[in-house]
Structure 1
Amino acid sequence: TITFVGDIMLARRPGEYLAMGEDPFAGVADVLTRSDLTVGNLECVVSTVGEPVPKWFNFRCHPRVVPVLARYFDAVSVANNHSGDYGKEAFAEQLRLLREGGVAYFGGGMNFAEAHRPLILEQGGLKIALLGYNNVELRSYEAGPDTPGLAWLEPDQLAADVRAAKEQADIVVVYPHWGYDYMFWHAEDQAELARIAIDNGADLVVGNHPHVTQPVEIYKDRLIAYSLGNFVFDDFLDVGPDLAEPARTSWVLTVTVGRDGIRHWETRVARTDDRGFPQWIEGAASPCSDGAPEDGYLCYP
């Protein structure tokens, strides 16, 4: 089994509580530790260096988060619109700290080739390839031929990367950071990119960034989860009352895989508490599981 979660932001309020010794994942540890592999999107740059890039929000988290991540996650994506918030030196330091701390990463590297190289994880005799991408501001965060950065989401490059990964692995997962903040329905370009990934061999597409959940769709018998929402975050402090509750809610997606692809999937509902830490919602029915989709969609926000 592989469990995927939404955006993990360990700066600001969540980081303050973590610094006091509190575990941000304790409330959902049962599912995270039970899965064979657990994957999330690290929505802050782990670093002590650099200056903030001019933009609305900058998220930098302390290196103390690395052992906490290592306790629960096998891999994290560094392809998002905050991994470059403190410049190239900070991004490079993050890669080093994650590597030294035993947290595998994907979607970024010390150059373009590394950023687009799949992370291959082996479990139960299967090889699972993870590809991470971002297409949300700023393009300057992208890796260059000889400079560190993230993988930018471009259709032709996505297709080529997926085809190459399929030659190396049994299962290919594409993990894009895309879409628009607080939109409950995915944009057309998200659907187009997801279809490109699947048309070229991806078995699963798991999206993040909108800060709310978005629909789950079946396309060519493959699963597309457009947005899992906020997993660890405190942006309910930044939005109005109409968005505060949706910003607290996320889906945790668990899939069972085999050589023939995704065999089973289900989601659970988590809600962030006032620390920005996820907790299971007692009695909440799974919003989405495998079965006959209606109009191609299995569930809606």
Structure 2
Amino acid sequence: MILALALALSGPAGADTVRLVVVGDIMLDDGPGRLISRGGDPLAAFAPLLQDADYTIGNLECPVATQGRPLDSKIYSFRASPRVLPLLKGRFDALAVANNHSGDYGQAAFLETLDHLAGQGIAAFGGGRNLHEAHRPLWIDRRGLRIAMLGYNEFKPRSFEAGAQWPGVAWSEDSQVVADIRAARAAGADLVIPFMHWGWEREGQPSERQRQLARTMIDAGADLVIGGHPHVTQGAEYYRGKLIVYSLGNFVFDGFEAPAERTGWLLRLTLDKDGVVAWETRAARMDQDGSPQPQPGVLTPCGKSGEATIQECVNP
């Protein structure tokens, strides 16, 4: 059964737990880019929530570069100016680059993006200078808890995929994903969390492919699965007591008119060595510039599987 996510503001994480905040697609070209060029800040309204965490992660849905040219094969190609970087610094500890827009301006722009993020002290994962780097986990060490985040894309074009000797993103090949999860566990991860770029755009429910892959990853040892890409939220469910959040939707993105496409989730997780202790969301409604605005309301946060009723988890 798919559950809608709850939203809440709770107290700080305990001494033996870690608070992780994750948001969906961050696209800083077009409307958000024009706002930044005017001196605006599309992340301002959410800054307190982004900073109220031990570690904050988002999906960077565009290269940040000055070089390259858009691919002829794509309808939409994005490239943000490096002027956006100071707005990301201090708000995000890491950004996933495993998506279908990281390679919009070619390999040189992708590599420039990695360099810019590193220069701001922001880790990039789900992509790299070669296949090995692209599949390397993002290691999060906080309060004695060691978390491995893995990022994958499975939405075309596959030409963005990294190779043995060329840069790109980690492609979601089932056998490789399973191997990466097992390798992270063997390397000492207390928790393994895949962050997926998957599903069909504008579909409010996960596809059978998403459900199948989520279960495959949990069977392989993942403790939690988080997804994005469809431009809408897709609810959540438990499998074998493990939480699956299928899509966080958009976070910073313009060009959408339907309310569902202009609404995303900030997901906040409280984690310990056994997995998810509690989870909650804050709804984000994008304005005409593509900037997220927090929506009011506080509901009961959801706990581990079976600890909250469906009614308590419903976000009206």
TM-score range, shorter chain: over 0.9
Query: Number of matched residues?
Result: 293
- State the identity %: 50
2:223 pairs with 1:209: no
Map 1:55-70 to 2 at 5 A.
Answer: 55-70=74-89
1:106-127 Cα offsets, whole Å, 9 max, x none, are: 0000000110010101111111
Partner secondary structure for residue 90 of structure 2: helix
CA distance in 1, matches of 2:299, 2:265: 9
Equivalent of 2:34 in 16, 20, 29: 16
Provide structure 2 residue ranges, at least 5 long, that are not aligned to the other structure: 1-18
Whether contact under 8 Å (1:267, 1:286) holds in the other structure is no
Give the corresponding residue for 1:155: 174
Task: State the one-letter code of the partner of 1:134.
Answer: N
Equivalent of 2:160 in 134, 141, 145: 141
**Aligned-residue offset at 1:219:** 0.8
Give the corresponding residue for 2:207: 187
Closer/same/farther in 2, CA of residues 89 and 286 from structure 1, 3 Å limit? farther
Q: TM-score, normalised by structure 1?
A: 0.93
Give the corresponding residue for 2:105: 86
CA distance in 2, matches of 1:205, 1:180: 17
Task: State the one-letter code of the partner of 1:233.
Answer: F
Partner secondary structure for residue 176 of structure 1: strand
Partner secondary structure for residue 225 of structure 2: strand
1:137-196 Cα offsets, whole Å, 9 max, x none, are: 100000011000000001100100011111231111100100011000110101111111
**Aligned-residue offset at 1:282:** 2.0
Partner secondary structure for residue 76 of structure 2: coil
**Aligned-residue offset at 1:262:** 1.2
Task: State the one-letter code of the partner of 1:251.
Answer: W
CA distance in 2, matches of 1:20, 1:87: 27
Whether contact under 8 Å (1:77, 1:106) holds in the other structure is yes
Give the corresponding residue for 2:54: 36
Partner secondary structure for residue 271 of structure 1: strand
Closer/same/farther in 2, CA of residues 287 and 196 from structure 1, 3 Å limit? farther
Give the corresponding residue for 1:274: 288
CA distance in 2, matches of 1:30, 1:219: 32
Give the corresponding residue for 2:302: 289
Provide structure 1 residue ranges, at least 5 long, that are not aligned to the other structure: none
Give the corresponding residue for 1:249: 263
Q: TM-score, normalised by structure 2?
A: 0.89
**Aligned-residue offset at 1:70:** 1.5
Whether contact under 8 Å (1:287, 1:299) holds in the other structure is no
Give the corresponding residue for 1:49: 67
**Aligned-residue offset at 1:75:** 0.5
Whether contact under 8 Å (1:215, 1:299) holds in the other structure is no
CA distance in 2, matches of 1:171, 1:59: 33
Equivalent of 1:170 in 190, 194, 202: 190
Whether contact under 8 Å (1:215, 1:300) holds in the other structure is no
Deviates further, 57-66 or 207-216: 57-66
Give the corresponding residue for 1:119: 138
Task: State the one-letter code of the partner of 1:182.
Answer: R
CA distance in 1, matches of 2:178, 2:314: 27
Whether contact under 8 Å (1:269, 1:286) holds in the other structure is no
Whether contact under 8 Å (1:235, 1:247) holds in the other structure is no
Whether contact under 8 Å (1:267, 1:287) holds in the other structure is no
Give the corresponding residue for 1:197: 217
Deviates further, 72-81 or 190-199: 190-199
CA distance in 1, matches of 2:90, 2:39: 14
CA-based RMSD of the aligned residues comes to 1.8
Give the corresponding residue for 2:8: none
Closer/same/farther in 2, CA of residues 287 and 28 from structure 1, 3 Å limit? farther
Equivalent of 2:95 in 76, 81, 85: 76
Deviates further, 164-173 or 51-60: 164-173
**Aligned-residue offset at 1:23:** 1.6
Task: State the one-letter code of the partner of 2:233.
Answer: T
Partner secondary structure for residue 269 of structure 1: strand
**Aligned-residue offset at 1:65:** 1.6
Name the one with the larger strand percent.
1
